[in-house]
């Protein structure tokens, strides 16, 4: 059985590790190729876009993929939409592995907004010092906020357009609570902006914000396409993969009967 894991997340790497230990399973992970030095998953890896839904369909056929786990980041909506469309067209089973979002706790000062542009409009008064942790590709939405100062943290440097007053901090999580508190206080941060990525690796900034009383603008996740099956952990995704095996064996024997007749 050949499975494709659409990756780029820690959960995708955990699943690749689990699946690589499973007898009779060939695992191919796919990365978009966005970051300079990605952490590579176990098993086979391919890098780069497929060329939209049609390109993905061709790739799935060429590589005789039997099932797809979309373990991409909760904000990677385009690849998820493509994967769902391609799986439906190729009649392949697909599951989305999506870590749960973050939950507001007592003491948090969160404002939820639907997207990055709404976040740019929700920073509050001019002159505020903003800690921006929305990923390299999200920074452009804040380019018009020349009235605020931005501390931008990303794995790789963001490309222009950037807000006029900014400082860039290149770093990859996980981050410790102590370091996050030092960063918020040392840079005199007035507001933290983050996407609701969920997961423990970058959660310390939220605890730090709660502790030092910094408000948070939290960008909501894009919704999943209708009718898609989703699971929350790599273990659940692995269970889903195992459950596909008899169905796939059945459909393969039907295909070979049809080919013979």
What part of residues 44-83 is at the interface with ligand NAP (CB under 6 A)?
Answer: 49-52, 55-56, 72-73, 75-79, 82
Taking CB under 6 A as the criterion, the residue among 14, 30, 133, 244 binding ligand NAP is 30
Q: Is the CB of 194 or the CB of 244 nearer to ligand NAP?
A: 194
Determine if 41 is a binding residue for ligand NAP (CB under 6 A). Answer: no
From the list 4-12, 93-101, 174-182, 207-215, the region that binds ligand NAP by CB under 6 A is 4-12
Q: Is the CB of 58 or the CB of 207 nearer to ligand NAP?
A: 58
From the list 2-10, 103-111, 222-230, 238-246, the region that binds ligand NAP by CB under 6 A is 2-10
Q: Is the CB of 49 or the CB of 127 nearer to ligand NAP?
A: 49
CB of 19 to ligand NAP, least distance (A): 16
Q: In what order do the strands lie in the sheet with 191-195?
A: 110-113, 216-219, 191-195, 129-133, 149-154, 166-170
Q: Is the CB of 6 or the CB of 183 nearer to ligand NAP?
A: 6
Site string for ligand NAP, 90-109 (x = CB under 6 A): --------------------
Taking CB under 6 A as the criterion, the residue among 8, 10, 198, 215 binding ligand NAP is 8
Interatomic CA distance for residues 211 and 208, integer angstroms:
5
Interatomic CA distance for residues 90 and 108, integer angstroms:
45
CB of 132 to ligand NAP, least distance (A): 13
CB of 100 to ligand NAP, least distance (A): 16
What part of residues 130-169 is at the interface with ligand NAP (CB under 6 A)?
Answer: 135, 137
Determine if 9 is a binding residue for ligand NAP (CB under 6 A). Answer: yes
Q: What is the number of the residue whose Cβ is closest to ligand NAP?
A: 49
Taking CB under 6 A as the criterion, the residue among 4, 6, 65, 154 binding ligand NAP is 6
* Cα→Cα distances 72→57, 83, 94, 133, 209, Å: 18, 10, 13, 18, 27
Footprint on this chain of ligand NAP (rule: CB under 6 A): 6-9, 30-32, 34, 49-52, 55-56, 72-73, 75-79, 82, 135, 137
């Amino acid at each position: 059985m050949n499975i494709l894991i659409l990756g780029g997340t820690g959960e995708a790497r955990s699943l690749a590790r689990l699946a690589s230990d499973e007898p009779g399973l060939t695992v191919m992970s796919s990365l978009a190729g966005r970051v300079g030095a990605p952490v590579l998953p176990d098993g086979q890896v391919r890098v780069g876009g497929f060329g939209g839904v049609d390109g993905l369909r061709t790739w799935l056929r060429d590589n005789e993929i039997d099932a797809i786990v979309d373990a991409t980041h909760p904000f990677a909506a385009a690849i998820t939409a493509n994967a769902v469309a391609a799986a439906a067209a190729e009649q392949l089973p697909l599951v989305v592995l999506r870590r749960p979002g973050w939950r507001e706790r007592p003491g948090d000062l969160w404002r939820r907004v639907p997207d990055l542009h709404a976040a740019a409009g929700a920073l509050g008064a001019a002159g505020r010092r903003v800690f921006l942790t929305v990923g390299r590709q999200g920074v452009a939405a804040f380019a018009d906020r020349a009235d605020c100062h931005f501390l931008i943290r990303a794995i790789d440097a963001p490309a222009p357009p950037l807000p006029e007053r900014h400082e860039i901090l290149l770093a990859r999580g996980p981050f410790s609570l102590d370091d996050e508190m030092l960063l918020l206080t040392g840079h005199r941060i007035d507001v933290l902006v983050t996407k609701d990525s969920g997961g423990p690796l970058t959660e310390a900034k939220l605890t730090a914000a709660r502790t030092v009383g910094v408000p948070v603008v939290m960008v909501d996740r894009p919704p999943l396409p209708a009718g898609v099956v989703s699971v929350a952990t790599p273990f659940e995704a692995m269970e889903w993969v195992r459950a596909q095996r008899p169905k796939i064996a059945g459909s393969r024997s039907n295909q070979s009967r049809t080919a013979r007749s």
